[in-house]
Structure 1
Amino acid sequence: MRRARSRRRPAASVAAPVSKGPHSLATPAYALLTQAQVDRVVDTAIELLATSGVVFEPGGEADTLLRGAGCTLSDEGIVTIPETVTRRALETTARSATLWDRNGENPISIDCDHTWFMPGMTCIAVYDEETGEPRPSTRGDLALITRVADKLPHVDGVCIAVKNVEKSNQFGEIDEFACLMENTTKPLEYLCEHPTSLDAVIEMAAALRGSHQALRQKPYFLHLITPLPVNLARIHSDQIITAARAGIPVSVGTLPIGGASSPITLAGCITHALMTDFAAIVLGQLAAEGSFCVGSSDVNFMEPATGAIGSFSQTSVGDMAMCQVRRSLGFPSLTGIGGCSVARRFNQDAVWEISSNMTQMFYNRPATIDYMGSLDQGLTYSLHALLLCDDLAGLLRKMWQGLEISADQMAVDLIREVGPTGNFLAHQHTVDNCRTQVWDSRYFGPNIPLSNTGLADQDLLKRIDADLKEILAELGQPELPPETKAAVSAILNKYSDHAV
């Protein structure tokens, strides 16, 4: 079976390469709320931090930093943060960060003007190649997914797509970072449970760069921290402090479930989520003023009929609102919901949901889309889904190029020359421009679906499956330099004795 790419148009007529540059700034992101509504949500979240408060588990350095800033701490860990402290933190937080690849090259800017695509995250199962049934994921699965992601043209960075379930301990999560380093040259996203795991991977990244100062100058990874809604455990506050001081860009976000851990209403859920975001930003600025430590909570909602995560319309509108609120403050919005599905298989339901939420990202414009390939409510990972997401990322980038309004592009002289009775088929202007704004899809034709090609009768899944088989057959490993490999091995050995 030949894959879809083998039947694509001849090279001479292929569409121009899709730029990974910024969004078309002439076409602003969709604004769901009025500015007055945005201000009210922000002001309310700040006021609730000062009155209702947020939990910081006591016993760590966060206590000293918060108390020194004028916050009130109860014995149970409830912290109320004065409005002036929160607003100061929102002013001083960096609005952008730059990540560099393994070689210290090809920077990507985490800001409000770009969207970057990544596979993930932290699924605990994959679909077995023999049976097609979900099974616990392994280090080998993480390595394979990372190598595939390394080869995909629209994947910009790599995060922990799947966990090594057999090593669900401190050593295991440190080794996951090593696995990413070994199998891609692209920049990384990382998250962990243990603060000492963050210490270890900072040590690895510094060894790669040559020093901690060199890592600060060229950060290799974005660190994700995922506390509970309005409740930051000490393991989370310690990581915020460590990363901010080390110059590692930090994204802190909870995963509220409206109707369970947060209010069921859209406005209530986003306000509650912003309280967590703002509390984390405050701590990040108290640890290292001017650091990049931003909030990135993803709002989710309970589906009333089943109690499971669902409610596509509610989640989509909530994500759009969160992106707008952060953008109004100048902050990039991370972990956009695109690329994932609650469907248990890569089937028609998954294709519909992935296509819908990826296309919505054209309007939301988050800084990162990090769930590409995740199915079954984030439990099971699918390489087939990842390939579809990569293709759709190409569509978004083509659309974000926008259009040029100029005499040449409006074809003013040509329209006059042809007049109202002619046609434009044989003109050089048509030849020069006929491919410039076409999405050169791997799996779909110019008349979607492939209605005018030899693949018209082949199901989308079969087209993607054939492509995946060829990718896997050609897959290699981007070897780490020997000195870096030795340093990573030494760090792993140092922490292996403490695995629990």
Structure 2
Amino acid sequence: MRRNRSRRRSPLPTDVVANKGPHSLNTPAYTPLIQTQVNEIVNTAIELLATSGVVFEAGGEADGLLRDAGCIFLDEGIVTIPESVTRRALETAARMTTLWDRNGENPISIDCDHTWFMPGMTCIAVYDEETGEPRPSTREDLALITRVADKLPHVDAVCIAVKNVEESNQFGEIDEFACMMENTIKPLEYLCEHPSSLEAVINMAAALRGSHDALKAKPYFLHLITPLPVNLARIHSDQIITAARAGIPVGVGTLPIGGASSPITLAGCITHALMTDFAAIVLGQLAAKGSFCVGCSDVNFMEPATGAIGSFSQTSVADMAMCQVRRALGFPSLTGIGGCSVARRFNQDAVWEISSNMTQMFYNRPATIDYMGSLDQGLTYSLHALLLCDDLAGLLRKMWQGLEISSDQMAVDLIREVGPTGNFLAHQHTVDNCRTQVWNSRYFGPNIPLSNSGLADQDLFARLDDDLREKLSELQQPELPLETKAAVTAISKKYRNLLV
């Protein structure tokens, strides 16, 4: 399947090819599995879909699409998908897509060769500036985080970092998209529960682009759908169909908890998650053949000691394996686990976990890392954590540049010239190359973690806090064009009236 991958990709504009996020040009990704193990996992997931099946809630258009494709409907909503149907869908699904910013510029390629960084995702609390304690998040918090993310150099797109808890309803979902449109130029990542919310934001994005066809030509957002393991509710299957037909790139992924909603073993949890992914890909291809509808399940595990989600070692290895399996099929791996922490505060525990899972992304090579700044198992958002993640994203991009092997870089002539008794300090070659491989961190000195400069007088939190306060003092909202703002307002008003 890998052999045909380039044939399935449509040619990219030259400005897409030259974008800033490559992760696979100079260094290989880590592969914890051998190819026969990858094949066994994939084949087993396909076989289980055909025998054990997956639940599709009845009552929507998915019923007819699946029946016409030869799927078998059993009791309790269970649907078995013939192996030939799944393999055909895996063959025809698009392997890449491109997102464009609010102005229809600066494209980013969602594929197997790039990694993009985003804040996220759907936290329901932030830390109060006065007390430091978590409080329910608001629309103003989402706007603020989005504006900060808009200015961070290594944040490439923006997703719903926090919910507007007071509007925990269908209109609130729609308004979150409008809020992000208002506060960043960058492309968006979106998720919702209601199919009508997706229809509304597609209309908003089409108003921004000028038409639905223009939106299909230059997608503005990536849509995420999060069903339960091997169980797609109608609201999820309807969204898959709507997004695929509208040309909106979509990732469908469950959040299995090994030991609870999925098997506790690494291989079992991965296989179970892939069943959900593959079922979604099948429906996406039945709705619109060739559409970008890919699986993006994150694999999590129950911590045996407490019953909470945790088990860092299991989650890390499973994520590496899941990324490898998707790469083997030619699919980008969305929602990499980097940038988040189960710690309840931005403290030493959080810094350790964020640093560990962010640097692990060097080996995993996901297409998107969109949990940056999320603490307390994804419940509470921290701008301090986001700033640290952005800095570590710079480290990853420096490392992904790899090293050049050439006569000049090996300094062959220079070594001969200097000889065994000389030194290289004052040589022009040193001057020319002394900064090429250095990570220009905002918060750490060259002698990590501290340099001999004034950074040594502050701990990490103080450095981050000073930088955050400076950024907040300089924030400005990137205003929407008046005609777009009017169209978005009209669409929001229309759906609010329909939902009253």
TM-score (norm 1): 0.96
Partner residue in 2 for 1:15: none
Matches of residues 8-407 of structure 1 in structure 2 within 5 Å? 20-407=20-407
How many residue pairs end up in the alignment? 482
SS in 2 for 1:498: helix
- Deviation of the 1:75 alpha carbon: 4.5
- Deviation of the 1:22 alpha carbon: 1.1
Task: Provide Cα deviations, 1:355-399, integer angstroms capped at 9, x if missing partner.
Answer: 000000000000000000000000000000000000000000000
SS in 2 for 1:173: helix
SS in 2 for 1:494: helix
Task: Provide Cα deviations, 1:96-145, integer angstroms capped at 9, x if missing partner.
Answer: 00000000000000000000000000000000001000000000000000
Matched residues in 1 for 2:20 and 2:437: separation? 14
Is contact 1:170-1:498 (8 Å) kept? no
Q: Which amino acid aligns with 1:259?
A: G
Higher alpha-carbon deviation: 410-419 or 63-72: 410-419
Q: 1:269 to 1:24 in 2, by over 3 A?
A: closer
Task: Provide Cα deviations, 1:406-435, integer angstroms capped at 9, x if missing partner.
Answer: 111111111111111111111111111100
SS in 1 for 2:475: coil
Matched residues in 1 for 2:62 and 2:170: separation? 22
Q: Which amino acid aligns with 2:231?
A: N
Is contact 2:94-2:290 (8 Å) kept? yes
Task: Provide Cα deviations, 1:220-261, integer angstroms capped at 9, x if missing partner.
Answer: 000000000000000000000000000000000000000000
Matched residues in 2 for 1:246 and 1:21: separation? 26
- Deviation of the 1:24 alpha carbon: 4.0
Q: 1:494 to 1:111 in 2, by over 3 A?
A: same
Q: Which amino acid aligns with 2:85?
A: V
Q: Which amino acid aligns with 2:168?
A: S
Matched residues in 1 for 2:178 and 2:421: separation? 66
Matched residues in 1 for 2:52 and 2:323: separation? 25
- Deviation of the 1:451 alpha carbon: 3.3
SS in 2 for 1:123: coil
Is contact 1:264-1:302 (8 Å) kept? yes
Partner residue in 1 for 2:460: 460
Matched residues in 2 for 1:426 and 1:251: separation? 53
Is contact 2:181-2:480 (8 Å) kept? yes
Q: Which amino acid aligns with 1:290?
A: G
Is contact 1:58-1:76 (8 Å) kept? no
Matched residues in 1 for 2:111 and 2:285: separation? 18
Matched residues in 1 for 2:455 and 2:48: separation? 57
Matched residues in 2 for 1:482 and 1:401: separation? 41
- Deviation of the 1:46 alpha carbon: 0.3
User: Does residue 441 of structure 1 match 2:448?
Assistant: no
Seq. identity, %: 89
Q: Which amino acid aligns with 1:327?
A: R
Aligned-residue CA RMSD (Å): 0.8
Partner residue in 2 for 1:419: 419
Partner residue in 2 for 1:12: none
Is contact 1:24-1:402 (8 Å) kept? no
Is contact 1:24-1:400 (8 Å) kept? yes
Higher alpha-carbon deviation: 353-362 or 416-425: 416-425
Matches of residues 462-477 of structure 1 in structure 2 within 5 Å? 462-477=462-477
Matched residues in 1 for 2:211 and 2:20: separation? 30
Structure 1 runs (4+) deviating above 3 angstroms are none
Is contact 2:257-2:300 (8 Å) kept? yes
Matched residues in 2 for 1:443 and 1:116: separation? 21
Matched residues in 2 for 1:204 and 1:26: separation? 40
Segments of structure 1 that go 5 or more residues without pairing to the other structure are: 1-18
Higher alpha-carbon deviation: 418-427 or 20-29: 20-29
Is contact 1:96-1:332 (8 Å) kept? yes
Task: Provide Cα deviations, 1:280-303, integer angstroms capped at 9, x if missing partner.
Answer: 000000000000000000000000
Higher alpha-carbon deviation: 443-452 or 113-122: 443-452
Q: Which amino acid aligns with 2:205?
A: A
TM-score (norm 2): 0.96
- Deviation of the 1:449 alpha carbon: 1.4
Matched residues in 1 for 2:171 and 2:348: separation? 38
Q: Which amino acid aligns with 1:362?
A: F
Higher relative contact order, chain-length normalized (CA < 8 Å, sep 6+):
1
Q: Which amino acid aligns with 1:412?
A: V
- Deviation of the 1:21 alpha carbon: 3.6
SS in 2 for 1:76: helix
Matched residues in 2 for 1:79 and 1:149: separation? 42
Segments of structure 2 that go 5 or more residues without pairing to the other structure are: 1-18
Is contact 2:252-2:296 (8 Å) kept? yes
- Deviation of the 1:454 alpha carbon: 1.5
